[in-house]
Chain A
Amino acid sequence: MAQVKVVVVGNGMVGHHFVEQLRQKSENAMITVLSAEPRLAYDRVHLSEFFSGKTAEQLALTTEENYQRLNVDFHVNARVVKIDSEKKSVETQSGQVFEYDKLVLATGSYPFVPPIPGNNQEHCLVYRTIEDLEAIQASADCSKVGVVVGGGLLGLEAANALKQAGLKTHVVEFAPQLMGVQVDTRGGELLKAKIEELGVTVHTQKATQVIEAMETVKDSDSDCRYRMCFADGTHLDTDMILFSAGIRPSDNLAREFDIEIGERGGIVVNNQCQTSVQDIYAIGECALWNKFIFGLVAPGYTMARVVADNIMGGNEDFLGADMSTKLKLMGVDVGSIGDAHGRTAGALSYTYENQPKGIYKKIVVDANQQKLLGAVLVGDNGEYDTLLQYALNGIDLPESPESLILPSSSDAPLLGADSLPAEATICSCHNVSKGDIVNLIDQGTCELAEIKGCTKASTGCGGCTALLKNVVDTELEKRGVEVNKDLCEHFAYSRQDLFNLIKVQKIKSFDELLANHGKGAGCEICKPAVGSILASVWNEFVLKPEHVALQDTNDTYLANMQKDGTYSVVPRIAGGEITPEKLIVLGEVAKKYKLYTKVTGGQRIDLFGARVDQLPLIWEELLAAGFETGHAYAKSLRTVKSCVGSTWCRFGVQDSVGQAIDLENRYKGLRAPHKLKMAVSGCTRECAEAQSKDIGVIATENGWNLYVCGNGGMKPRHADLFATDLDTETLLKYIDRILMFYVRTADRLQRTSVWMDNMEGGLEYLQQVVIEDSLGLAEELENQMQHIVDSYQCEWKTAISTPTSKARFRQFVNSDKSDVNIMFIEERDQIRPATEAEKTKVMTSQSENDLLLEPQV
């Protein structure tokens, strides 16, 4: 095919997915994107996270640069108002005309606002776009009470947002129960009870007749803005109203320009997603397939793939999609699979209910009790993945199907990832099958994080995370790649196992561990790892005779080795704050020992070019001036970067420097699986770049927002927002728990970012462990951290006052000479190591005094 001109109307989630798919299939297709919104596609599914601090940029699914790179012509604020199917062109509001060979309508849907008189007042809003959310935020800031009209999935999500914004929140539902689409009556009742427990008032079977402005209500002493009057004569006063009463397809264009529309709206499409007009397709929430509109993103993505394929000459079909959903609403698990209401003829059901714990589970099976048709889960989604696979893959049910939902019945057959067929869909958002994953593994991709990167699996709604990990682990084990967690040939244990052994059996030295649980003499892999664990648990001086041989060279000499065998010295400058006096001391020491001096990327000062025998002399002077070790050499806390914060900055809302210093002093010296970095910013402008750190803290009007598991370095990762508006005490408590949990469970040399990416359950799981204490570990973790804090010592101070340790800092045991191979050259008024060529030149020319600087005091 020559260059096909494709115009896409709408750049929502589905429109964007289509662009990506088409570009993947064809480098030549000329793609034009016309978006009515002021920005390119963003993640609507996670829209609510806007309220917990995610910015529009973080929600973005693409960027202008990215579209440019993909060679996509795009126009924002470009609503299409006209289709000319004869001339094959479309026209935007501003009069621009675009010609097409193929036209793809991906106009999505809009929120339905029930025709209630008074529904158009200032604080009556909807929930669909980023602009909507900004309006809600603004309205919430000047409201005390909020009502959500509609008790479906989105309505409850909206209610949660209002609740979090601190409003007294109500949900008003016309039907007799909540989430009528997904769950059955009993499930809906339980859900209502749980949500009311969380402080949201639910009113079911309420038809709103009118919304009155309070000024117009006679004899009212309410200080709310509006009064909602219901058909049953009751009323509810509120300051703002959010409509979430369902969605309607954006089908105006099609309607006006003679494309077939369904009886109740929606652009009619066939199995190739073609509309009634040649060369015009419709995908996503505007499309009506088989009299059905799919209000979820995964079916839209499938439609996008089908159309991209068809345009490029393929013949894929769209054959419907699974509408199962798994979500957490205000912390309550809700799951709905297939025929949740048991509408199939002859269907039978089993239910389990546990009122004290607030758990309800139902499975719907066929008349022969052979296959699973559907399920409803409220309060516990533990079985969701297994049930979904039974339903999707038509797997035969076990003899007593009820065992699938009964708690701790020992014969509950767990559906291992192994029993799934290759076609089984693992991630429905990105259409990744078990076979796709198996192929990748066969090609040698063995890291979960890499597999996520290649397939995008679990990067959509996130519902498939646990199953994905399960499949990957099982497949790896099957291949004898055996998820071999052995640390090395000397220990047939993972780092986590060794940690537990050391802690539980109170093992205090490498030799003891090796004698009891290992073999051989150890190596460069297990020795530092065990050294680190011993330090994390017992926190003894790392250069004690029984520990010294375990340390990597940097730890052994408490400094960072440079290319020529000299060292760099980095004293701690907590939070980056330093007095002029101390700054002068650093200058004087550097001058005296002729050290190259540089400001590091971590807000402190590095002195380079010290010979091993000079280290104790340099540190004696630094210690005397009040400095302490900066642990630049250790897998432990490096720096806590700060911005200047409220003390000086006109925007700062908290004392970020003070907080950074406190954090650095609390966690300094903590040995961890890898190095740790933190930062504290004084306001959302984020000058300390806290979101790129393992632990990031950003000040808010009300306290501190905590971000976790960010990373700069080779593979940057934005930190995840973990909790908001914490007071300092809670902040420290959470950080204590997070860090100690990391120290316990991470692999050797695994930064927190990779640890998080490989964690089953991800952020949510970590929040449960840390905030809700789901493992009952919180106190122990805190105590362990307190032990580390209490047993802190400056390693340089101890080293210098321990003769056997101090004696190690020399080049020769039998001579005071220094290493003649260390030579420096002067450059920009400081020293640098001589290159090999320069060294040879000097050796042969004898005129060394011109060139070389003697490495001496």
Chain B
Amino acid sequence: MSEEWIQVCKKSDLVKNSGVCALVNDKQVALFCLPTGAANDAELKVVATSNWDPIGKANVLYRGLLGSKQLADSENDAMYFVASPLYKQRYCLETGRCIDSDEVAIDIHQVKLENDSLFVKLAG
């Protein structure tokens, strides 16, 4: 549907290790800034998801806590997740799958940083 990259905000609008929310074509998009291990800002890893909590039924995901979970089959790989601030269900930030329930999932949108600007390409 929406095939184009939309410029959303500045890099400085993001909050490290935490989330903010943007309105993109009337859709609420949560923007999370994950730790990269590097001290350098240039290496920010940003993930964009839908902001709707499908269980709590409110637009609050960007206010959730970020965390990592060691994957069972791998020594080093970890899955990053956001925990909903309402009832604490965790959503994988790579796939959108809910770790605590098979019934629900959230959208994952593509993001890129160009110079100081952040772009989002809305999913489906």
Contact = CB atoms under 8 A, between A and B. Distances in A.
Contacts of A528: 65
A556 B22 CA distance: 18
A132 interface: no
A563 B86 contact: yes
A391 B90 CA distance: 55
Interface in B63-85: 63-70, 78, 80-81, 83, 85
Contacts of B57: 836
Contacts of A264: none
Interface in B5-39: 8-9, 13, 15-18, 20-23, 28, 31, 34-35
A524 B18 CA distance: 12
Interface string B39-65: 000000000000000001111100111
B98 to A, nearest CB: 14
B88 A524 contact: yes
Contacts of A545: 16
What does DSSP make chain B's interface, helix, strand, loop or mixed? Answer: strand
Contact of B20 (A527, A552, A813): A813
Interface stretch (A15-23, A515-523, A588-596): A515-523
Contact of A811 (B21, B65, B90): B21
A100 B63 CA distance: 70
A561 B16 contact: no
Interface residues of B, number: 36
B16 to A, nearest CB: 7
Interface in A795-827: 808, 811-815, 817, 819, 821
A814 B60 CA distance: 16
Interface in A543-586: 545, 548-549, 552-553, 556-557, 561, 563-565
Contact of A814 (B13, B80, B88): B13
A552 B69 contact: no
A814 B65 contact: no
B78 A563 contact: no
A553 B65 contact: yes
Contacts of A612: 63
Contact of B9 (A489, A490, A813, A836): A813
Interface string A373-416: 00000000000000000000000000000000000000000000
Contacts of A520: 68-70, 78
Nearest to A488: B67
B58 A812 contact: no
A392 to B, nearest CB: 47
Contacts of A548: 15, 18
A813 B13 contact: yes
Contacts of B20: 808, 813
B3 to A, nearest CB: 21
Taking each of A521, A564, A813, which has the highest tally of chain B beta carbons within 10 Å of its own beta carbon? A813
Contacts of A489: 69-70
B17 A821 contact: no
A524 B83 contact: yes
Contact of A523 (B9, B60, B69, B86): B69
A129 B78 CA distance: 66
Contact of A561 (B35, B67, B86): B86
Contact of B15 (A523, A549, A565, A812): A549
Contacts of A811: 21, 28, 59
B87 to A, nearest CB: 10
B58 A565 contact: yes
A561 B68 contact: no
Contact of B67 (A523, A556, A565, A814): A523
Contact of B80 (A521, A524, A525, A549): A521
Contacts of A553: 60, 63-65, 85
Nearest to A565: B58
Given A557-B63, A813-B9, A523 B68 contact: yes
Interface in A528-554: 528, 545, 548-549, 552-553
Interface residues on A, range: 20 to 34
B102 to A, nearest CB: 20
A814 B118 CA distance: 11
B22 A812 contact: yes
Nearest to A548: B18
Interface string A617-628: 000000000000
B13 to A, nearest CB: 4
A520 B31 CA distance: 21
A565 B83 contact: no
A814 B62 CA distance: 14
B21 A812 contact: yes
Interface in A1-28: none
A549 B18 contact: yes
B70 A561 contact: no
A821 B23 CA distance: 13
Nearest to A489: B70
B121 to A, nearest CB: 16
Contacts of A817: 23
A75 to B, nearest CB: 53
B28 A819 contact: yes
A457 to B, nearest CB: 35
B68 A522 contact: yes
Given A545-B16, A813-B13, A524 B63 contact: no
A479 B124 CA distance: 50
Interface in A300-337: none
A355 B20 CA distance: 70
Contacts of A521: 34-35, 66-68, 78, 80
A527 B65 contact: yes
Nearest to A515: B37
A544 to B, nearest CB: 12
A524 B65 contact: yes
A815 to B, nearest CB: 4
Contacts of B17: 549
A33 to B, nearest CB: 49
A821 B59 contact: yes
A34 B76 CA distance: 72
A820 to B, nearest CB: 9
A561 B70 CA distance: 29
A302 to B, nearest CB: 49
Contacts of B16: 545, 549
B100 to A, nearest CB: 11
Contacts of B70: 489, 520
A561 B60 contact: yes
Contact of A556 (B59, B63, B90): B63
A523 B57 CA distance: 23
A770 B80 CA distance: 44
Given A489-B70, A561-B63, A564-B58, A524 B23 contact: no
A747 B85 CA distance: 22
Contacts of B68: 490, 520-523
A520 B20 CA distance: 23
A557 B19 CA distance: 12
Contacts of A808: 15, 20
A53 B39 CA distance: 60
A821 B50 CA distance: 14
A527 B67 contact: yes
Nearest to A514: B35
B33 to A, nearest CB: 9
Contact of A524 (B60, B67, B78): B67
Contact of A565 (B9, B59, B78): B59
A453 B121 CA distance: 57
4 closest A-B pairs by beta carbon, nearest first, are: A523-B67, A553-B85, A549-B17, A521-B68
10 contacts: A490-B68, A521-B68, A524-B90, A548-B18, A553-B63, A553-B85, A565-B56, A812-B28, A813-B8, A815-B22
Interface of B: 8-9, 13, 15-18, 20-23, 28, 31, 34-35, 56-60, 63-70, 78, 80-81, 83, 85-86, 88, 90
Given A564-B58, A821-B59, 4 more contacts: A521-B67, A552-B85, A561-B60, A814-B23
